[in-house]
Amino acid sequence: MTILTASASSRLAQTSAFTTIRRRYNSVSFRRSKVFAKMQFGTLTTAIALACTAVAAPAAVPRQNTLQPFSLTAASIGTPSGRPGAYPWSEFRASISDPNTLSLGTSPDDNSEVTAGPSSGLNCFAKYLGSEGPWGRSWPCDNDNKQEGWWTMEIAQGTLDGQPNGYDVTFTHVADKQYLGSRYHKEWEGKVTLRVGDTLAGSCGGSGVCGWALKNGPLSIQQTEVA
């Protein structure tokens, strides 16, 4: 049987405590190393994802400055009589086309040019109460079923000699296409003023109903790239 002196017991206790502390320190250090490694891996993964996203982005292309103008092929306006009990809605219709093949960008996947072909905005249509007018919103145009974008029409009050007169109409051709997983999007706007006696011709009947249509069509509208 071994008998430990007081000093030996003290040294043994100190050694045991030191061993316990060292084990705890090693355990904490190991856990910290694992956390640091996870942080490094997460940072590396994020960097790789960002790099892949950048590579997948479509390459920018210069603006096309030699485009043929939009062609306004039809426009008509009808207003009601305003008599009590009569149908109260006014209507504004138009059809427009873009004869150009538009360059939307270069694919980073196969280095090919992505384009949208000639397009038409058919039967652009605004229906509104005369007291409200068609102002301050976008009106839809029917698609030509090519799945390469869409058209919208906006109407503002025209002026002549400082007085309200006619319609300032903005047609927007939105070219929007997906190719090999990337989206390509550009927009062009063309503006025209439609005014009775200038670009519109028509008359009002005895009932008070009025109708006007495009005077000499089709009408060319020069567009600009806006987005």
What tens digit of pLDDT does each residue of 154-208 get? 999 999 999 999 999 999 999 999 999 999 999 999 999 999 999 999 999 989 9
What is residue 170's predicted lDDT score, i.e. its pLDDT? 99
Segment 218-227 mean pLDDT: 97
Q: Are residues 124 and 154 in the same domain?
A: yes
pLDDT for the residue 66: 85
Q: Domain check: are 45 and 75 in the same one? A: no
pLDDT over 90 (residue 32):
no
Tokens 């919103």 map to which residue? 137
Residue 83 and residue 40 in one domain: no
Asked whether residue 149 falls in the same domain as residue 193, the answer is: yes
Residues 43 and 119 in one domain: no
The reply to whether 65 falls in a domain is: no
Let me know whether 147 and 189 are in one domain. Answer: yes
In a domain, 148, yes or no: yes
Q: Is 78 left (phi over 0), alpha (psi -120 to 50) or beta?
A: beta
* Domain hosting residue 50, numbered range: 10-56
Across the chain, what does the average pLDDT equal?
Answer: 82
pLDDT surpassing 80 at residue 45? no
Give the per-residue pLDDT at 8: 40
E strands, 141-196, are 149-160, 163-179, 182-194
Q: What pLDDT is recorded for position 23?
A: 52
pTM: 0.72
Q: What mean pLDDT comes out for the span 214-222?
A: 95
Buried b (16+ CB within 10 A) or exposed e, 64-97: eeebeebbbbbbebbbbeeeeeeeeebebbbbbb
Question: What whole-number distance in Å separates Cα of residue 146 and Cα of residue 149?
Answer: 8
> Does the residue 2 lie in any domain?
no
pLDDT of residue 44 exceeding 60? no
Q: Is 207 part of any domain? A: yes
Span 116-138, average pLDDT = 96
128, 21: one domain: no
> Which of 46-55, 123-132, 159-168, 177-186 comes out lowest in average pLDDT?
46-55
Do 37 and 85 fall into the same domain? no
Task: Tell me whether residue 1 is in a domain.
Answer: no
Residue 81 domain-assigned (yes or no): yes
**Burial class of 214 by CB neighbour count within 10 A (0 to 12, 13 to 18, 19+):** buried
Question: Are 42 and 142 part of one and the same domain?
Answer: no
pLDDT classification of 97: cutoffs 50, 70, 90: very high
Give yes or no: residues 150 and 92 share one domain: yes
Looking at the fold, whether 127 and 176 belong to one and the same domain comes out as yes
Q: Is the dihedral of CA 60, 117, 125, 211 positive or negative?
A: positive
Q: What is the mean pLDDT of residues 113-134?
A: 97
Mean pLDDT of 9-24: 44
Q: Domains in the chain: how many in total?
A: 2
How far apart are the C-alpha atoms of 101 and 111, rounded to whole Å? Answer: 18
Q: Mean per-residue pLDDT for 1-23?
A: 43
pLDDT at 19: 46
